[in-house]
A = this chain, B = another copy of it.
């Protein structure tokens, strides 16, 4: 296994987590653009599963002290904010 420095590992950890968060963000945005389609419960489950997976990755990185707890929380909170925005749009859609 190639030896890298602890600093490099920490930087890579943030990059990987952010890349995974961005993938989920894209899923949410795709869903937002397709609001005219009927709400698909499977889609919600996919998002839930992806969020859970990411939270486990973040938790693991925090336990290894690769990422600060606050940084990890911020990544998740940003996604949760976006998700609740999506749910808000759905509610408005239903009421129309």
Contacts and interface: CB of A to CB of B under 8 A. Distances in A.
A13 B65 CA distance: 10
A75 to B, nearest CB: 13
Contacts of A16: 60, 63-64
A21 to B, nearest CB: 13
Interface in A38-96: 49, 52-54, 56-57, 60-61, 63-66, 68
Nearest to A5: B6
Contacts of A10: 1
Interface residues of A, number: 26
Q: Which 4 A-B pairs have the closest CB atoms?
A: A53-B56, A57-B60, A56-B56, A6-B6
Contacts of A56: 53-54, 56-57
A37 interface: no
A30 interface: no
A65 B1 contact: yes
